[in-house]
Structure formats: structure tokens, C-alpha cells
Structure 1
Amino acid sequence: MNPQFLFYIIIAILVIDFAIDKIISYLNAKHFDDKIPNELTDVYNEKEYLKSQAYKKENYRFSLLKSGFTMILTLFFFILEGFAWVDNFSRSYSSNEITVALIFFGIIMIGSEILSIPFTYYHTFVIEEKYGFNKTSKRLFITDKLKGLLLSATIGGGVLAIIIWFYQMTGDDFWVYTWMFIGAFTIFITMFYSSLIVPLFNKQSPLEEGELKDAIFAFSKKTGFTLNNIYVIDGSKRSTKANAYFSGFGAKKRIVLYDTLINDLNTDEIVAVLAHEIGHYKKKHVLINMVLSLLVTGITLYIFSLLINNALLSSALSVDIPSFHIGLITFGILYSPISEITGIFMNMISRKFEYQADDFAKNQFNGSSLVSSLKKLSKNSLSNLTPHKASVFIHYSHPTLLQRVRNLTA
């Protein structure tokens, strides 16, 4: 195989992936005006449903514009040998491969962020504002972007530097050390995400004493779920949309509630949501997902190690000097069809786990409270009640609201 043919394969993968995604989006959009299923008629009144349809259609049109613009720029970047230019520019500042890779990905990351800012700004301050979701100030928008870039450069750059160092020290066996490092790093982030990363963007406060806290602790005690930390996060400073999540494990596990969730739901509904999250923990879903994710990562790294020394990976992008970072980009694109398949498989498992967590909440607490909470959350976020089956199969990590309601009321 010559570099030119491999380049055509890369372009074909990019175009086909884009086309499939747009076809699925189109099929999904064709169902925006479907009649609401009988089980969900109490989610929206007529005015609210019209508003949700308008919101979905506007987001769909915006997504087409953004993805189309991004695709055109990406193709031009490949055709005009943009990676070779950035690589040469990076090498003009250093001959150290780790430094070159950091400069290379730094330029790519900053350039991508600059191009995406107008779209992100429009979506936040025009679309989200129009439908009453946005609470982000322009100052907060800017500081979030700067913090995100700094965090990506610090953590992402550090991880990349360590992986390339493994490659330089161990050659083809780098994948084993990288796999172990990513495993350790994943466990560390899972345990300390809420205490180290979240405070950079949000304020977390212990849940105040009262009915809600008493109800949560009573349920956790009933189910044998040791709980020391319940925190409230100030999500309302960015959006009216509500959420709750469970993080960490062992002594570091904690439940985090968005202040918007507390405002939108009553006590039983909040406990039902948390019962669902506790169900994930009791069913060991967090551990299973971590093991599966690390298994997929290990397989991917092993396949990458078999190809990384092939100069064809760099030549396909018109780069004269073979390197780890160029090989990583080429391999990432060539491997993307397999990644899509593994992603679909992981989503199938995730949807199964969601049903199991729903059943746990239904059996251990109250199924009707979970149903009403899911309906309120869907209503308040103007979510799509009638997605196309193909979109659900490929993209959804959770069952649809209709599927969850039917399961909970069965």
C-alpha cells in the first residue's frame, strides 16, 4: 500500500462517518413532530410541546451548520497538508520528540478551540438563552474556556508526554506500560474528580440539614449503602437544566445534587433519582464499566503498537519524519470504524444497566416517584420524546423516556 492510497482511505472514512451521522440525524429529525405516546401525554401541554419541537428543530439546524463547517475545514486541512505544516513548525522550535508533540497538539487544540468558540457562543447565548436555559454570564463563559484550555494542556499534555516517554524507553512494549498508567490514572480521576476537578468550575456545599438529607440517609441506611458525603453544586449559575451524579468509590464516594434538581423535584423524587444512582453502585456497574473500558483501551493500544513503527502512517499525511504523534492521528482515524462498533456495544450494556438501576429504585424505594422525576427532568430540558430507533441504538447510553416509563410501570 502506498501513502496516497492510505490517504484516500482516511478521507473516505471521514466522509462516510460524516454521511452516516447526518443520515441518522435526519431520520431523527423526521420524528420531531410525532404524536406523544400515551404514557407521556402528561409531560407537555400543547404549548410546551410546540416549544420543545421548536427547540429540537433549531438545535438540529444549528448542528448541521456547525458539523458541515467543521467537516469542510477538516477536509481542506488534510488536502492542503496541514498536519505536515504544523509538524514542521513544531520542529523549528525543538528537536525533542516530546516537546515537538506537545507543541503540535497544542497548536491543533488552540486552533480547534478558536474555530469552535463562535458556535459555542451562539448556542449558549442565542439558542439556550432563547429557550430560557442559559444562566451563564459572558465573563463566566470566557473563564470557563480559559480554565478548560489550561486543564487540557496540563493534564492532557502531561499524559501525552508520559506515553511518548514510555514509547522512547520501551519501544513496541510501550502499550503495556501505557495501559497500566491509564488504568491507574482512571482510578485516580474516578476517586478524586469531585474534590479536585469540579471545584475549579463550580462551588460544592454540603447538603443542609432537613427533610431531604434525612430521607437520603434513611434510604442509604436501609439499602446498606454507606454514605458520608452529600453535596450540592451550583449548576444554576450556568443553566436551568438539572442533574445529579455519583462519583468515586470506597471512602471517597459521594453524591452530588445540582441545586436546580432540588428546586425542580420534591423529596421523594430526588430520593428516587439517588436510589437509581445507588442501584448502579450496588449492581457494580461502575466497576464493570471501568473494567470494560480498560479492556477496550488495552486492545486498542496493542493494535496501535503493531502499527506505530510503520512510516506509512506519517507518509499518508505528507509528513517526512515519522513520529509518534502523527502516527497517533492516522491510527485514530483508521481505527474509528472499530471504535464506533465498540461504542455501540458499550451503549447497549449501558442501557441494560440503566434498566437494572431503575428496577433497583423501583423495588427498594418507589417506582412512581422515579417516573415523575424522569418526566419532570425531560420536560424542563425540552428533551426529545420520540427519537428514531437508529439514533437510540447508536448514540443513546440511556433508554428513552418511554422505554424507562414502560419498564417502571410494567
Structure 2
Amino acid sequence: MFDLKTIIDRPNIPWKLIISAFSIAQFSFESYLTYRQYQKLSETKLPPVLEDEIDNETFHKSRNYSRAKAKFSIFSDVYNLAQKLVFIKYDFFPKIWHMAVNLSNAILPVKFHMVSTVAQSLCFLGLLSSLSTLVDLPLSYYTHFVLEEKFGFNKLTFKLWITDMFKSLSLAYAIGGPILYLFLKIFDKFPTDFLWYIMIFLFVVQVLAMTIIPVFIMPLFNKFTPLEEGELKKSIENLADRVGFPLDQIFVIDGSKRSSHSNAYFTGLPFTSKRIVLFDTLVNSNSTDEITAVLAHEIGHWQKNHIVNMVIFSQLHTFLIFTLFTSVYRNSSFYNTFGFFTERMTGGFIDPVITKEFPIIIGFMLFNDLLTPLECAMQFVMSLISRTHEYQADAYAKKLGYKQNLCRALIDLQIKNLSTMNVDPLYSSYHYSHPTLAERLTALDYVSEKKKN
């Protein structure tokens, strides 16, 4: 009988080499895509549908912005790959793990010195996330204060950048800690039949996140102000009434204090009332009809059950991951290779028993690196689904009569955000969750006013 667990639990399997090879292969593939895109950015002609909409100055500025981002993405990918390979080669993970064990033993009272693997895992993740934040600081600083600053998008101050970082870490510890504790306790309580318990738990977490984050977490970073009475609010409410959209409140978010990029979205569970959120940069620079058209697109996602579809797809994806994880999560050779095979003494002092410990969080992290080929393939699938949803939402807005205003809004957002005009098809099918502007305008049968005249 075929037994995958037994087949892959052999001491001669070079797990480090396999994971390193997968990481390098992913880097090579994504670098190839970036190279293709960089070559595409050399083109000096706009897509035909944009020729009468984008002036030369904006086009060249957009090209320069896209080229700068492409160059930086290659550098950051090299940086992250080097970091991962160094961590693997020099066994940084077990070193951090032993630090976490010592820390948890030092923090907890003497009677708890036989600290559980769950507590040690939480300390490990706390140390690792803090270290990762420090290691990524140079990239974050360059992104905001050099790259985005150069093209006029950054509105962050150094103080706000630091404050955001500490808020994010604090929330990760305060909220992520208890969630991870429950996650790990499921494995502790159900070591052989954890799959369905994990699925139920993660589904509940996902639903709670969709409920709590918009209402309690996001206001910690941005100010949400109810939209004032007036033409825009009335137009949005009329649209909501017309299509039966369960609108609760409309807010304007002060996105301009961090960036001049524009956006709009709605929050709320699929079968509950919704909040619409507009960036102040959008409200201040677009007409009422254009903003309403953008929201008609967003409502299209609700009307077409895209949120429900993505939740279902996410659950199926999670089920696949944890089904595969059952074959390696107690794999002795896997843990041994990375220096994570530990033993603990249990039982009484008279008759002690040595038991093997498999830190679940370690196994899951390393297992995710093994999934690199699968996740690359899934990236294409997820992008395809997302892009299909965008086309459907555009078509919904068009059906409501917002075609021209939606097209004008999309063009305006493209110009203000300096979004990429020429995109390589393979690059976009992997990286882009939205179709390009040219693709969306073509699908909407947009014709420039200049061509009409």
C-alpha cells in the first residue's frame, strides 16, 4: 500500500537542498517575469485604446516609475533570497528556537519550567517576527522615503512610519498571539486527526477578521470620517437603493496622510450590512458620477458573490495545504535536517520516559517552503479568478449605465497613480490581480471622445 509518510521520512533525503533549490527556482522564475516586464517598459507606444487618453509626459513618468519599481523588486528579491538561504545554511531557525526555549523558561514561574512546546513556539514566533521587522527595515525605508518620495506619492513622515511599525508589531502580539496559541493547541489536543478542527478554526478566524479588522483595527491607523451630506452621498445612497445593496455607512479615510494613491472599497460579511470607504484622495479629485461609477463596480463584486467565492476558494486552498501537511508534520528526517529534533522527559522521576517533540510551527514554516512550486502555480489560478471577477464587476457597472463614467474614473486613477501602461501578458497573469487598464477599457468597448468626434 502506498504510504507517503513512510516514503518521505528517510534520513538520506536532502531536505535543505530541496528547499534551497525550490527557493532559487522561484526567484529565477519571478526574475524572468520581471525581465520580460522591464523589456515591455522599453516600448515607446501606448496601447491603442490609451493613445488619446494619456499624454506623453504622464506616459514617460509612468514608465520611469514602473522601471524604478521593477529594479527595486529584483534587488528586494535577491535580498530576501539571500536572507532565506543564509537562515537555512547556518541553522538560524534552530538557534532562534533555542533562544525561545530559554526565554520561555526564564519568563514562566518555576513550577512551569517544563514549558510546553506551544509556549516555546509563541516565543519563537515573537522573536522571529521582531527580527524579520528589523531585517526588512531598510527595504521599507527605501520604498517609502526614496522610491515613492521620488515620484511624489509618499506622504509618510518618519515619525508616522515608526509609529505604524510599532502599532503593527503590538497588534501582531496582542491578536496574533492568542490566535496562534489556539492554532497550536489544536495540534496538541488532536495530534492525528487535526484537519477538520483546523479548517473550522481558520474559517472562524477568517470570518472574525472580516468583521473586526475594518471596525476596530483599521481606525488605529487611519481616521474614518462619515461622508458629509451632499450630492455625492445622495448619489451613492440612490445607487444602493436601486440595486438593493445593504448600505450601512459611508466613510472617508485620510489615506492622503500616507500616500497620494487613490482607492475605494466596501467592508462587511456577505450577508450583512456594508460600509463603503472612500479615500480622501479620490473624493477630492474625482467627480460625483465617476466616484459613483467606481462604487457600482465595487457593488458588482457583492452582486456576483465574489467575496463568497473567494472565501470558498481560500478554504479549499487551505484544505489542500493541511492535507499535504499531514504527511510531513511529524517527519523525523525533516526535523533532523534542520536541527529541530528535540526530546523531552515525561513521566515521574522514578520511571522517566523520553518522548520526541515535533514543534508544529517549525514544521509548518518549512513545509510552506516545500510548497513553493504548488504556490507558484496557485498564484496563476488566483490571479485568473481575481481578474475574472474584475471583468464581471466592470460589466455589472456598465449594465447599470455607468460605462463612460467608470472608464473615465479608471483612466483618471491610472494617471494619478502612474500605473503601468504597457504590461507583459505573462507577468500580469502571475502578478496582477486586476486586468490592465487597456484590457478593461477594451472589454468595456470604450471609445475615446476624440475618436467619436
- Structure 2-normalised TM-score? 0.88
Residue 141 of structure 1 is matched in structure 2 by 161
Of the candidates 403, 418, 423, which is equivalent to residue 387 of structure 1?
A: 423
Q: Which runs of 5+ in 2 are unaligned?
A: 1-9, 106-114, 343-357, 447-453
Structure 1 residue aligned with 2:95: 85
Instruction: Tell me how far 1:340 sits from its aligned partner.
Output: 2.1
Q: Does 2:327 align with 1:291?
A: no
Counterparts of 1:378 and 1:47 in 2: how far apart (Å)?
Answer: 14
Letter in 2 for 1:16: A
Q: How does 1:128-277 map to 2 (within 5 A)?
A: 128-249=148-269, 250-277=271-298
In our comparison, the structure showing a higher alpha carbon Rg is: 2
**Within 1, Cα distance between the matches of 2:420 and 2:83?**
30
Task: Report the CA distance between 1:157 and its aligned residue.
Answer: 2.1
State yes or no: 1:19 paired with 2:28: yes
Residues 193, 247 of structure 1: 8 Å contact kept: no
Query: Residue 335 of structure 2 is aligned with which of 314, 319, 322?
Result: 314
The 1-side partners of 2:220 and 2:407 are apart by 34
Aligned to 2:42: 33
Residue 61 (str. 1) matches residue 71 (str. 2): yes
Alignment partner of 1:48 is 2:61: no
3-state DSSP of counterpart to 2:400: helix
SS state at 1:384 partner:
coil
Distance 1:172 1:3 in 2: 25
Task: Provide runs of 4+ in structure 1 moved above 6 Å.
Answer: none
In structure 2, what residue type is equivalent to 1:403?
E
Residues 26, 376 of structure 2: 8 Å contact kept: no
In 2, the alpha carbon distance for the partners of 1:82 and 1:119 equals 21
Point out the structure with the larger helix share.
Answer: 1
CA shift digits 1:255-278 (9 cap, x unpaired): 100000111211111001000000
Provide structure 1 residue ranges, at least 5 long, that are not aligned to the other structure: none
1:287-331 deviations in whole A, cap 9, x for unaligned?
Answer: 111111112112211221232111222112122323212211221
Q: Report the secondary structure of 1:199's partner residue.
A: helix
Q: Which moved more, 1:275-284 or 1:250-259?
A: 250-259
Residue identity opposite 2:284 in structure 1:
N
Between the two proteins, what is the percent identity of the paired residues? Answer: 34
Counterpart contact for 1:163–1:174, Cα < 8 Å: no
Could you tell me how far apart the structure 2 residues matched to 1:184 and 1:190 are?
10
Deviation at 1:72, TM superposition (A): 1.4
Secondary structure of the structure 1 residue equivalent to 2:251: strand
1:126 is aligned to 2:136:
no
Range 2-11 or range 162-171, more displaced: 2-11
Q: Aligned equivalents of 1:7 and 1:123: distance in 2?
A: 32
Decide whether the 8 Å contact of 2:421 with 2:437 is kept in 1: yes
Equivalent residue of 1:231, what SS?
strand
TM-score (norm 1): 0.97
Deviations 1:329-383 (A, max 9, x none): 2211112221222232122111111111000000113101111111111111111
Contact 2:59 2:421 in 1 (8 A): no
Tell me whether 1:105 sits opposite 2:125 in the alignment.
yes
- Aligned positions, number: 410
- The residue type equivalent to 2:195 in the other structure is W
Letter in 2 for 1:28: Q
3-state SS, counterpart of residue 365 of structure 1: coil
In the other structure, the counterpart of 1:326 is 362
CA contact (8 A) 1:223 1:364 kept: no
SS of equivalent residue, structure 1 residue 255: strand
Match of 2:15 in 1: 6
Paired with 2:78 and 2:27, the residues of 1 have a C-alpha distance of 9
Q: Provide the aligned C-alpha RMSD in A.
A: 1.4
CA distance change for structure 1 residues 43 and 157 in 2, over 3 Å: closer, same or farther?
farther
Secondary structure of the equivalent of 2:367?
helix
Q: CA deviation at 1:3?
A: 5.6
Contact 1:371 1:405 in 2 (8 A): yes
- Write out per-residue CA displacement over residues 45-98 of structure 1, whole angstroms, 9 at most, x where no aligned residue: 112222111111222222222221221122111111111211122222333211
